[in-house]
């Protein structure tokens, strides 16, 4: 190698000395080029003898453990028979010659690429893949990949470090513990593969080793120490230079990674719950409380507790006469049903806040805002994801209403329960600022469903031909059918919402819908200009149908005997109920009975109707006679 290099230098000097190139110089230059190429070729052959690869077929997809089991690396150091641990005497010369010819870096780079792709990367990715080192007399060592049984889904850091060190240590002993121009060959290899290898270890191993719970963070110091020892071993062999690498920085920054991983897992779990079926419900009673774990006492809590005890003792001594106690159910949720997924969502939020309590300040803040993001996500995702079902299915609309009210109720106090334990600045709203939005969201969803039901009801009543000319059998049949359909619709809704909505919401909702139907019927009757005796009787029959069957649609509770109370309170929930009763009476009454019930503007009729409305109804019911004129004269307030 030295002679070729010196000859090349001499020829170059001759070329520079003479302006014209002599034939002998050209011949020498050509010969030197031929000799150099021969030298590089023979050096390449020697290099190939030092490291012989046995690789999987190019047609094999490298996606499973089995595809790498044929991988093997034969390291032929060619040691003497007396001492097999001594490398080949010509090894430094071969590597030096390759370096002088500018080929060493190329050879190491290609070797490093094959080493990482077929040996190091599989060992990092697959927990069941291990490396086996076997010695061959007078030849060197063989590195081969073997498969072992394991239930682990992801590799353990200590196992990965052990496997990688086994490969690199064997290479160091057999091949790369040689210095070229004051730089070890192992350092050249390390420079070429370290970045890709460390990123692979982080991506495939360390990411999955981050604890899932804050209680496991203390144990992660063992992984940090293993990473430090791993890098220290690489530095001793020359594969790694420098103090702190991205790999070690990642391991040491476990708190930040824990928070990021935890937040990501929480959001994924929350999104999955929001997209799940909502019809699976759980019953919520006034006694229901969120299961918040016991939290550590905040600093200064003991002193505040003692002062609180003193104040309470002082107030106990000042007992007041006729002291009124609030109901035990004050500030409690009414009996209703919510989605099981929403209960699980609240449990997830509490679990995450509990994790924040025991975490570092940075992690705690990140987890707190993740919980806020859960509720923001619910506010944005659920109404959109389930939009069609909320409009089509009254049962789901009622559940969504309860879900939102349940969340809003607990958001009122959730922040205050965790406030003393979280490192947040004063002025942070915690969760109470989200309460109005959730109440509005639940109300909007249910109101939209109520509007759908009202539209259906009015559509059915529109087929009644304005309740006119009921002396015609067809008209009466159509009108009667419309009333029956409305009653059936209310019964069906009452059954669907039974034991789902809180009793007061149930009664108000059914009452509002029944009131809509009654108002429509009354308005149509009041618009009639002429009501015959037959029309009046049949109109009264329709009114009586509603009066008799209307209360029976109020069934908020599954126990029939408990619903009678609410059926008797129909006038409380149906604004036009008494108006319907009065108009039913008028349709079957004579002029004197109407005048008596008007009672000079002080009777029950005067409460429900204006003078003009009552006069209009009398004109429609009775012919124009002196008695009618006298009666109309008495309809005044």
* Residues 479 and 419 placed together within one structural domain of the fold: no
**More confident of the two residues 463 and 243:** 463
Residue 420 sits in the same domain as residue 394: yes
Q: Are residues 578 and 601 in the same domain?
A: no
Residue 330 has pLDDT above 80, yes or no: no
Question: For 550-609, how does the pLDDT look when each residue is reduced to its tens digit (9 = 90+)?
Answer: 999 999 999 989 999 999 999 999 999 999 999 999 999 999 999 999 999 999 999 999
Cβ contacts of residue 430 below 8 Å, gap of 6+?
Answer: 414, 415, 416, 418, 419, 424
Same domain, 120 and 98: yes
- Alpha-carbon distance of 478 to 465, in angstroms, equals 8
In DSSP terms, which residues pair with 179 in a beta bridge?
184
Alpha-carbon distance of 630 to 637, in angstroms, equals 15
pLDDT at 357: 87
245-289 pLDDT per residue, tens: 788 888 888 888 888 888 999 999 999 999 999 999 999 998 888
**608 and 576 together in one domain:** no
- Residue 10 falls within a domain, yes or no? no
User: Is there a domain that residue 549 lies in?
Assistant: yes
Pair 289, 436 in one domain? yes
User: Of 568, 587, 606, which closes a domain?
Assistant: 587
**73 phi and psi, to 5 degrees?**
-130, 115
Number of domains in the chain: 4
Q: Are 607 and 570 found together in one domain?
A: no
Q: Are residues 338 and 350 in the same domain?
A: yes
Whether the CB-CB separation of 515 and 576 falls below 8 Å is answered with yes
In a domain, 21, yes or no: no
Q: Is 256 exposed, middle or buried (0-12, 13-18, 19+ CB in 10 A)?
A: middle
For the residues of 587-608, what is the DSSP string, one character each?
A: HT--HHHHHHHHGGGTSHHHHH
Asked whether residue 420 falls in the same domain as residue 434, the answer is yes
Range of the domain at 619: 589-636
Residue 291 resides in a domain: yes
Same domain, 277 and 416: yes
Residues 275 and 421 in one domain: yes
List of residues 6+ apart from 407 with CB closer than 8 A: 342, 345, 346, 375, 378, 438
Q: Is residue 107 part of a domain?
A: yes
pLDDT of the residue at 150: 83
- Mark which of 214, 243, 272 sits at the end of a domain: 243
- As a 3-state breakdown, the chain gives helix, strand, coil percent values, each rounded to 5, of 70, 5, 25
Instruction: Supply the mean pLDDT for the chain.
Output: 85
- Whether residue 458 is contained in a domain is answered as no
Question: What per-residue confidence (pLDDT) applies to 90?
Answer: 61
Which tokens is 2 given?
A: 């030295």
200-214, 314-328, 489-503, 513-527: segment of lowest average pLDDT: 314-328
CB proximity list for 64: less than 8 A, separation 6 or greater: none
Q: Is residue 406 part of a domain?
A: yes
What residues pair up with 337 in beta bridges, in sequence order? 283
User: Quick one: 310 and 439 in the same domain?
Assistant: yes
Q: Is 17 part of any domain? A: no
Q: Whose CA is closest to 512, among 550, 474, 560? A: 550
**Alpha-carbon distances of 351 from 347, 371, 418, rounded to whole Å:** 6, 10, 12
pLDDT, tens digit, 9 for 90 and up, residues 524-557? 999 999 999 999 999 999 999 999 999 999 999 9
Q: What is the pLDDT of residues 343-402, one digit of tens each?
A: 999 999 999 999 888 788 888 899 999 999 999 999 999 999 999 999 999 999 999 999
Last residue of a domain, one of 243, 276, 299: 243
Flag whether pLDDT at 299 surpasses 70. no
């Amino acid at each position: 190698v030295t002679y070729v290099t010196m000859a090349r230098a001499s020829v170059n000097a001759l070329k520079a000395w003479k302006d014209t190139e002599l034939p002998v110089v050209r011949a020498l230059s050509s010969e030197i080029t031929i000799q150099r190429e021969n030298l590089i070729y023979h050096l390449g052959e020697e290099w190939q003898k030092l490291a012989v690869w046995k690789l999987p077929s190019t047609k094999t997809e490298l996606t499973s453990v089995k595809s790498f089991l044929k991988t093997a690396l034969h390291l032929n150091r060619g040691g003497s028979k007396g001492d097999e641990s001594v490398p080949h005497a010509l090894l430094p010369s071969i590597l030096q010659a390759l370096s002088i010819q500018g080929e060493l870096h190329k050879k190491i780079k290609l070797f490093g690429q094959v080493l990482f792709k077929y040996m190091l990367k599989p060992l990092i990715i697959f927990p069941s893949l291990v490396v086996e080192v076997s010695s061959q007399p007078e030849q060197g060592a063989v590195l081969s990949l073997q498969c072992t049984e394991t239930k682990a889904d992801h590799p353990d850091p200590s196992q990965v470090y052990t496997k990688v060190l086994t490969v690199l240590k064997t290479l160091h002993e057999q091949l790369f513990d040689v210095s070229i121009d004051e730089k070890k060959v192992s350092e050249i290899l390390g420079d070429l593969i370290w970045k890709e290898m460390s990123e692979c270890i982080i991506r495939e191993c360390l990411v999955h080793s981050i604890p899932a719970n804050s209680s496991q963070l203390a144990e992660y110091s063992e992984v940090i120490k293993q990473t430090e020892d791993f890098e220290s071993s690489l530095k001793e062999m020359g594969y790694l230079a420098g103090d702190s690498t991205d790999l070690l920085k990642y391991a040491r920054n476990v708190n930040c990674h824990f928070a990021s991983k935890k937040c990501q897992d929480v959001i994924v779990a929350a999104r999955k719950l929001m997209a799940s079926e909502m019809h699976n419900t759980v019953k919520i009673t006034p006694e229901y409380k969120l299961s918040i774990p016991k939290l550590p006492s905040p600093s200064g809590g003991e002193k505040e507790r003692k002062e609180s005890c003193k104040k309470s003792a002082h107030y106990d001594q000042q007992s007041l006469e006729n002291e009124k106690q609030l109901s035990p159910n004050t500030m409690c949720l009414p009996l209703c049903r919510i989605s099981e997924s929403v209960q699980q969502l609240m449990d997830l939020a509490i679990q995450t806040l509990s994790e924040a309590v025991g975490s570092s300040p940075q992690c705690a803040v990140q987890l707190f805002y993740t919980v806020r993001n859960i509720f923001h996500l619910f506010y944005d995702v659920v109404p959109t994801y389930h939009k069609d079902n909320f409009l089509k299915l009254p049962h789901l609309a009622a559940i969504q209403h309860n879900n939102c009210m349940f969340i809003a109720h607990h958001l009122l106090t959730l922040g205050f329960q965790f406030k003393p334990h979280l490192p947040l600045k004063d002025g942070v709203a915690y969760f109470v600022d989200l309460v109005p939005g959730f109440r509005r969201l639940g109300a909007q969803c249910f109101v939209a469903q109520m509007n759908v039901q009202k539209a259906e009801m009015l559509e059915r009543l529109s087929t009644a031909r304005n309740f006119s000319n009921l002396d015609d059998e067809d008209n009466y049949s159509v009108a009667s059918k419309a009333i029956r359909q409305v009653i059936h619709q209310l019964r069906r809704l009452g059954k669907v919402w039974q034991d789902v909505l809180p009793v007061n919401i149930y009664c108000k909702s059914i009452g509002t819908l029944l009131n809509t139907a009654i108002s429509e019927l009354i308005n149509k009757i009041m618009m009639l200009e002429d009501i015959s005796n037959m029309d009046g009787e049949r109109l009264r029959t329709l009114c009586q149908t509603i009066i008799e069957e209307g209360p029976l649609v109020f069934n908020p509770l599954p126990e029939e005997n408990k619903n009678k109370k609410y059926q008797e309170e129909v006038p409380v929930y149906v604004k036009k109920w008494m108006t319907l009763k009065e108009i039913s009476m008028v349709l079957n009454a004579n002029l004197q009975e109407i005048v008596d019930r008007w009672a000079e503007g002080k009777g029950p009729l005067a409460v429900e109707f204006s003078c003009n409305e009552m006069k209009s109804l009398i004109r429609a019911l009775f012919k124009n006679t002196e008695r009618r004129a006298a009666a109309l004269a008495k309809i005044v307030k």
